[in-house]
Amino acid sequence: MTPEEKKAAAIKITQEIVDEFLESLWLIDERGKKEKGNKSALCAVVVDEGLVADASQAEVVLMDMLKAGHIEVSGEDVSFRPGGREAAKALIRRKRLAEKLLAEVFELGPSEIKASACRFEHILSPEVTDSVCSFLGHPPTCPHGKPIPQGNCCKKLSHNVKPLVVPLDDLDPGSKGRIVFISPKDHGRMDRLSTLGIVPGTEITLHQKKPAFVIRSGETELALDPEIAREIYVRQIG
Amino acid sequence: MQCCKKEDPAKGAKRPGAKRLKKLLLIGNPNVGKSVIFGHLTGQYATVSNYPGTTVEVSQGNALIKGEQYVVVDSPGVNSLLPMSEDEQVTRDILLNDDFDSVVQVADTKNLRRSLLISLQLSEMGIPFVMALNMADEAEQAGIDTDIPALARLTGLETISATATRRKGMNKLREIVSNPRNSTLTIKYSDRLEAAIANIEPLLPDSRISRRSMALMLLGGDTSLRGWLHGTMEDNAVDELAILVKESQSGFNEPLGYVINKERLSVVDGVVKYCQTQLERPTGGVRSWLGAVSMHPVWGIPILLVVLYLMYQFVGVLGAGTMVDFMEKTVFGKLINPYAVKFFESVLPVEFLRELFIGQYGIVTMALTYAVAIVLPITATFFIAFGILEDSGYLPRLAIMVNKLFRLIGLNGKAVLPMVLGLGCCTMATLTSRILETKKERVIVTLLLALGIPCSAQLGVIMGMLSAISPVATVIWSGVLVGVIFAVGYLSSKIIKGDASDFMMELPPIRLPKLKNILMKTLGRIEWYIKEAVPLFILGTLVLFTADKMRLLGMMEKAASPLVVGLLGLPEKATAAFLIGFLRRDYGAAGFFALQKQGLMTPVQVLVSVVTITLFVPCIAQFFVTIKERGLKTAVGMLAFIFPFAILVGAALHFSLDLMHVTLQ
């Protein structure tokens, strides 16, 4: 549908459009720009993405969402109501977990990730989402370094579900693991680890966790800060 | 510290007419034994220890290999030719700026994977080399079997197996050095990466290393290369490159340096799998047990205490006590000095000249007595003990134990290496600060070394002085010192901009120190101490002698009186000790030692003088190294802080002891 056609037809508000609105609002909030209210920013984004034809249509959608109890609008300021926030959080969580899964496990490039992750967010059920999250070891951030909202599985802290992939600091000293991914908080850190041969696929043994982590890979013994160990995700073996 | 020739022999060789010497470079990961091989080839000793980062400077020596004269260059160890710290950059810059007739990659056989990561980069650079698989004995002990012919086939390189510490394989190495080849071990990266390389490659200038390797360095995020590029290209071309690199990075989720290394490692893993087999790995052993307990959160502490106690017994009791006593009272007191007095009295008829040698400020009676009788035994015992620690592999484990503590002062555990080395000699330690990754860390360590870390010579004299008064004094002295180091470290970590780096440190295996290496190292360090310190001791004595004879000393004492007597509460005569303290802190301390022995200072004065001289300005050599490493401005800035600060702390101590009526009797 071209924008002209969209404008001609009275806008049909689908769940997907509402989802995208919620998501856009979440992202605007996350960026933390609070000048004079965020309504115009939100409208600009949704028009830009081709969800609606113009600001007036956006207004229509917003009114609908207001009625549904997702949001509050006061003057130029749009804010979440609890139900809307939960929905938006779940959407973002699904999207970023999907990105993480596609990037780390399937090692896809950014464009493929973007295309697929957007579809995942609408179709993953809560159970599947939590499984993906547990599988990835409740990752704190997406591949772009943005925070992934926590789900129930993260709060239970995986006491019930034994995750396949865990951060290195969840391993007991003496156990072995194979690195699945290294979450990129600091770029230099990943570079340096890789020059020492610490990359996904590398098998390591955890020797101790205090006062610093000591791991062994082959005949290389390495001491690490706990913060670094927390960013190395492994799958326990043996 | 290096005891090898520093001048560049090849420079001379480039003069027209002179016969050009061939150049050979030793390169490889840290702690694989490059310096041991350097020693065998050249017959010169380069410091060998059991921790990564012993060599921070390039050392050069001459070697005769198969009838040809070579200049052999030993380089600091690298884990990647994309430098992460200053010592790694030294090595990369050598490859960028120097021509070599042969390059030997020294590899640790049991860590072939990481060695091949370097081989692959040398191959990419288009540098012909040969391969020495060192530490064959340790690989065998670890149950690793290497098919060397297979590896040679895959890499296309002349490859030999060696155990350099036992001289094994050295002749085979001499056979192959004249036959370096371009390695056939190459890598085709993923399409996206190859596309990025292809974008950048044509813009780069010709140089000693291939454009492809330079493109990879730039993509990998090498900022240190930019300076070099600015020297060979137009400024806007360099900026254009930077933009291209940024664009390439934006197509990837992960940092490119990491992506590149991941792809390299997958090639390397294939090679390792093909030519190495892991047989049964023998478990345990005393050495691996020792390695584990020495960094254990609980057992590590008693072990540290035992190490400190043994060091104290060896350096403090045996060196500073028994040996100094023997040297001072028997050797100098009964033999040398009386003989010297007789000798100079008979050959020098002029009183003035006699005093120059045997008077109160005499070269023999003061400078040599201090240097040889008091300071030498202490330095020698310290260097022996320190050498054992270095070679055992304990120091990196100590770094683990102190990591959290060092975090408080903006450093990480790795900084313990230069700091402990500073207890031997702060000049050497200032150079070793290169192993730290960020500028902030290097500045903090340099400052703390200049301010509060006493070198072995000074430490010994101070211990001698403190042992004569109440043990409370020792507690106060060490308390003030630790307090000052942490306070200044903490504040400077807040003031100095920049980041602390991650604690990510390789642990060498625990090894049994070799007596011969310890002796060689200690002798080298003593020789260097004598060369550096004794002339300064003599110079200091001459200054005092002249000042005394010209009646300047009295004037200076008067002039400094408000400071020395008023603020610090010391006798006027202490001015002389401070004066020579400007040359070397240990000499200044020795001056106080003499005053104490003559009964001219009360215990409180002893303590105040000891605290002040510990914090006093760094010695001349250290100051010059600080200028060289950190720049004139930083070095002078440090000096401008340290001098008043030392006096201030001394004065504060003097007044608070006074106020509390502490006598330390």
Q: What is the ipTM of this complex?
A: 0.81
B-chain CB neighbours of A109 within 8 Å are: 192, 251-253
Residue finishing a domain among A80, A98, A116? A80
Whether B504 and chain A come into contact, CB under 8 Å, resolves to: yes
Same domain assignment for residues A56 and A100: no
Whether B144 and chain A come into contact, CB under 8 Å, resolves to: yes
Please write the tens of the pLDDT for every residue from A158-214: 555 566 788 888 888 888 999 988 876 677 788 888 888 898 889 999 988 888 899
Tell me if A74 is assigned to some domain: yes
DSSP state of B126: T
pLDDT confidence of residue A115: 78
A-chain CB neighbours of B114 within 8 Å are: 195-197, 220
Whether B25 and chain A come into contact, CB under 8 Å, resolves to: no
**Tokens 């510990």 sit on residue:** B614
Tell me if A216 is assigned to some domain: yes
Domain B9-176 fold: Rossmann fold (3.40.50)
Tell me the CATH number at A172. Answer: 2.30.30.90
pLDDT confidence of residue A219: 86
Tell me the CATH number at A138. Answer: 1.10.10.10
Tell me if A225 is assigned to some domain: yes
Same domain assignment for residues A92 and A67: no
Residue among B34, B91, B64 nearest B178 (CA): B64
Query: Per-domain residue ranges for chain B?
Result: 9-176, 191-278, 300-659
Burial state string for B102-131 with b = 16 or more CB within 10 A and e = fewer than 16: bbbbbbbbbbbbbbbbbbbbbbbbebbbbb
d(CA B548, CA B365): 16
pLDDT confidence of residue A106: 72
Torsion of CA B502, B59, B29, B103, to 10 degrees: 140
Q: Do A220 and B506 touch (CB under 8 A)?
A: yes
Give the pLDDT band of residue A9 (cuts 50, 70, 90): low
Whether B55 contacts B77, CB under 8 Å: yes
B-chain CB neighbours of A188 within 8 Å are: 84, 221, 255, 502
Whether B223 contacts B241, CB under 8 Å: no
Q: Do B255 and A211 touch (CB under 8 A)?
A: no
For B71, left (φ over 0), alpha (ψ -120 to 50), or beta? Answer: beta
Per the structure, the complete domain to which residue A51 belongs is given by: 3-80
Whether B546 and chain A come into contact, CB under 8 Å, resolves to: no
pLDDT confidence of residue B17: 45
Residue finishing a domain among A155, A178, A210? A155
Same domain assignment for residues A106 and A129: yes
Mean pLDDT by 10 residues, chain B (665 residues): 41 48 91 90 80 76 90 90 82 89 94 93 94 92 90 93 91 92 91 90 88 90 81 84 85 83 91 87 76 86 89 82 85 87 85 83 84 84 88 89 88 89 85 85 92 85 82 90 93 85 87 89 86 84 85 84 88 87 86 86 91 89 87 92 93 91 78
Q: Which of A33-37, A42-46, B270-274 is least confident?
A: A33-37
* CATH number at B191-278: 1.10.287.1770
Q: Which two tokens stand for residue B612?
A: 């002040």
Residue finishing a domain among A99, A125, A155? A155
DSSP state of B163: B
Q: Which two tokens stand for residue A157?
A: 């802290």
Distance from CA of B314 to the nearest CA of A (A): 29
Q: How many CB pairs (< 8 A) connect A and B? A: 139
pLDDT confidence of residue B12: 40
Q: Which two tokens stand for residue A200?
A: 């996904």
Longest dimension (CA), chain B: 89
Whether B82 and chain A come into contact, CB under 8 Å, resolves to: yes
Structural domain tally of chain A? 3
pLDDT confidence of residue B174: 93
Whether A192 and chain B come into contact, CB under 8 Å, resolves to: yes
pLDDT confidence of residue A6: 52
Burial class (CB in 10 A: 0-12, 13-18, 19+), B184: exposed
Task: Using alpha carbons, list the distances in angstroms from residue B507 to A230, B287, B392.
Answer: 20, 13, 11
- Per-residue HEC secondary structure of B432-487 comes to HHHHCCCHHHHHHHHHHHHHCCCCHHHHHHHHHHHHCCCHHHHHHHHHHHHHHHHH
Tell me if A60 is assigned to some domain: yes
